Amino acid sequence: MMLVGVVVACAGCAAATVPALVPPCGGASAPTLAPPVVSNMPATAGKIAPVVPVPSPPTARPVLAASEYHAAERLLDARVVFVARGEEGRLAVLADEAGIVAPWRFEKGTWDKLPLPDAHASKVGTSALGMYFGRDNRPRMMGYRVTAEGPRMVYLRHRDGAWQDQRREVGSLASDTSVLFGELGEADPEIVCREGGASIIKGRFGWNVLKSAPPKEAVIRGFAGRGYALQTDGLYVGESKSFVRIGGAAPWKTAVTGFWVGADGAVAVVEPAADALHVFEPKTGVWTTEPSPVRGPRDVAGPVGNRYVVGDEGIAHLGANGARRIGEAAISLARVLLIEDHVVAAGPAGVFMIRIR
C-alpha cells in the first residue's frame, strides 16, 4: 500500500455543505447518432421476403472533456471498501488488504493504521463494517461479521491506542448476534439499525426509537437531522415511529447504491446497472430519470447545477452548462463526500481529494 502524505485543509467539516459552485463548465459533446435501420426486402418468386432489419451499432457514449476548474490528487493508494468523514478534515477508511479489512485514519495530514484485534478481524466479503468518527472525534467501528456459528456484532471505539468494546452506545440493539448497520458520525443524526429489530435515530435532540428496521441491504444515510433508507422499492425517511416512503414507487428496476438529499428535500439516486441518475423534486412530487455522466454510477452528491457523480469510470461534475470529467476516466470510485472547501472520492482506485481551482 502506498501512502501519500497530503494535508487536507478543511475548516468546519461538520456540516456537509456543497463546495462553492464552479464557473460554467460547458456542455458535453453531442452523442453520436446511430444510423437508421435499413430493411432488406428482395422480391423472390413474386413474393415479398420477410423484413430483415440490419442491426445498428451501439450508440457511442460522448467523451467528457476534462474540467479546467477541478484538480484531483490521490491521498491513499489502496483498494478502499468504505470511507467516512469527520471534523477538521478527518477521514475513516477501510481498505481491502489481501482480503482482510484494514482500518486507516487520516488526521492532521497523517495516515495511521488501526488494526482490529484478533477477536474482530474480518474478511472482505464475509463482513459488513463501517468506520466513523463520533462527536468526540474518536473512531467507531460498527457492523457485523459472518462466522460458522452465525453473525457476530461489531461495535468498537478506538481509545488509548486500542479498539475497545463500546456496545452500551447502542443500548438495547446490542447483543452478540445483532446484525447492526446504519451510519454514525459527528453531525446529526446517527442511525443505528438491527436486522429484524428496531432502529435508533440519535441526535442532539435525543433518541428516536423506531419500531422496525429496513433490510440490511438498504443504504442508510443522515441528512439535515433526518435518517433515510434507500431500498429496492423506494426511498424512506425515519418519522416518529417508523420509516415512511417518500416520492412514491421507485423508478429504478435494479440495485441502487448511493443517494443525496438536499436541504430542500430534493433527492438524487444512482442506479449502476442502468447508467442512470434519478432525481426527485419535492415541489412536484415527481421522479425524473437522466443518463449518468459516468458509466456504472455508484454515488452522487450535490444539488442540480453543482452535482458530483462517481462510478466505475471515474468522477464527473454536473455544472450549470453540462458535465465535465475530473481526473482520469479509468479510475473506479464508489463514494463521494462533500466537504466545505473540497470533495473526497474513494473506491477501488484509492482515496482522492478534488479541489476547486
* CATH code assigned at 305: 2.130.10.10
Structure confidence at residue 48 (pLDDT): 39
For residue 113, what are the domain limits?
A: 2-25+59-356
Quick: pLDDT tens for 244-279: 999 999 999 999 999 999 999 999 999 999 999 999
In a domain, 65, yes or no: yes
| Mean pLDDT of the region 1-19 | 41
Three-state DSSP class for residue 345: strand
Q: List Cβ<8 Å contacts ≥24 apart for 90-98.
A: 90/13, 90/133, 90/137, 91/8, 91/344, 91/351, 92/131, 92/132, 92/133, 92/139, 93/131, 93/346, 93/351, 94/129, 94/130, 94/131, 95/1, 96/124, 97/1
Structure confidence at residue 45 (pLDDT): 38
In a domain, 323, yes or no: yes
In a domain, 40, yes or no: no
- How far lies 312's CA from each of 107, 277, 295, 352, in Å? 28, 14, 6, 14
In a domain, 36, yes or no: no
Could you tell me which residues are beta bridge partners of residue 261? 267
Structure confidence at residue 72 (pLDDT): 94
In a domain, 30, yes or no: no
- Tell the residue number behind the cell numbers 447545477, with chain if given: 305
Give me the number of domains the chain comprises. 1
Structure confidence at residue 20 (pLDDT): 46
Structure confidence at residue 19 (pLDDT): 59
In a domain, 300, yes or no: yes
Residue 315 has pLDDT above 50, yes or no: yes
Give residue 29's pLDDT band: very low, low, confident or very high (50, 70, 90).
very low
Structure confidence at residue 187 (pLDDT): 78
Structure confidence at residue 222 (pLDDT): 95
User: Which helix (H) or strand (E) segment is 82 a member of?
Assistant: strand 80-85
Q: What Rg value do the Cα atoms of the chain yield, rounded?
A: 23
Asked if 228 and 238 touch (Cβ cutoff 8 Å), the reply is: yes
In a domain, 51, yes or no: no
**Mean pLDDT for the chain overall:** 86
**Cell numbers linked to 112:** 495511521
Quick: pLDDT tens for 52-67: 444 444 455 668 999 9
In a domain, 209, yes or no: yes
Tell me the DSSP string of 103-135: EEEEETTEEEE-PPPGGG--BTTSEEEEEEE-T
Structure confidence at residue 206 (pLDDT): 83
User: Which helix (H) or strand (E) segment is 83 a member of?
Assistant: strand 80-85
